[in-house]
Each structure stands twice: as C-alpha cells, then as structure tokens.
C-alpha cells in the first residue's frame, strides 16, 4: 500500500531573491483543496484581472520557500517568469490537472515517443 502524498518538495530553477539579496530556491507545495480554488475567485484583483488567479492559488499552496517566514502574494509576484511557470506546472501535475504523458527522445537512438509520467511522490 502506498502512502497518500499531500505535499511535495521542489527546487526553483532560479529562485526568489528577497530584499536583502538572499536567494530562496527550495520549498514545499501542498495539494490544493476546493477552497483554494474557490476563494480566490472572490478576490477583486482576480475579478479585475483573471491572470492574477495563479498568484493567489500559489500563495495558498506554497507552504514554504527557503527561509522566508511566509509566502504571500508579493513573494509570488516577485518570482522570475521561469520560476512562476515551474510552479504552475508543478501545481497542475500535483493536482492531476495536466496530462500523464510527455514527449521524449531516446538518448541512444534518437527516436521520439511518448512516455507516462509517474505520479509525484509515487
């Protein structure tokens, strides 16, 4: 019997740079709940700009980032684009929102095919 994984550790490609210049790359993301996806829809920032939804979603599910005392919207806003894209992809994979296959190329023969992606934590 396998354990049910509710959190995963991650390492950002670039890292969040705080006001003191410290770089924070490692963190923890937890599974999203229904409330995590519903409550941000009431936020006026999302009503005025739908793209802001991912900031509020990540603020809720990223429970740790380096030695920061908290992960708030300002931290997510301050991420480099590559790191934001990384966290969006991780969110989608962790919560079962992205396909379970991906295109790969064999390093030996160069043949392209699809491969099943194992579940996170599995």
Structure-token pair, residue 15: 């890292």
Strands 101-105 and 62-65: unpaired
| Model pLDDT, residue 100 | 56
**Phi, psi (deg, nearest 5) at residue 39:** -60, -40
Domain locations in the chain as residue ranges = 7-116
| Model pLDDT, residue 1 | 64
Residue 24 has pLDDT above 80, yes or no: yes
What would the pLDDT profile of 30-68 be if each residue is shown by its tens digit? Answer: 999 999 999 999 999 999 999 999 999 999 999 999 999
What would the pLDDT profile of 76-95 be if each residue is shown by its tens digit? Answer: 999 999 999 999 999 999 98
| Model pLDDT, residue 122 | 46
What are the Cα distances from residue 23, in Å, to 33, 49, 59, 106?
A: 29, 29, 18, 35
């Amino acid at each position: 019997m396998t354990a049910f994984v509710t959190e995963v550790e991650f390492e950002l490609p670039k890292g969040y740079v705080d006001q003191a210049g410290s770089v924070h790359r490692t963190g923890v993301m937890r599974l999203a709940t229904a409330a995590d996806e519903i409550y941000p829809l009431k936020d006026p920032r999302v009503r005025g700009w739908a793209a802001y939804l991912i900031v509020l979603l990540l603020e809720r599910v990223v429970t740790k980032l380096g030695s920061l005392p908290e992960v708030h919207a300002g931290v997510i806003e301050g991420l480099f684009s590559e790191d934001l894209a990384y966290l969006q992809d991780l969110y989608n994979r962790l919560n079962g929102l992205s396909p379970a296959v991906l295109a790969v190329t064999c390093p030996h023969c160069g043949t392209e095919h699809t491969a099943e992606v194992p579940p996170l934590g599995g």
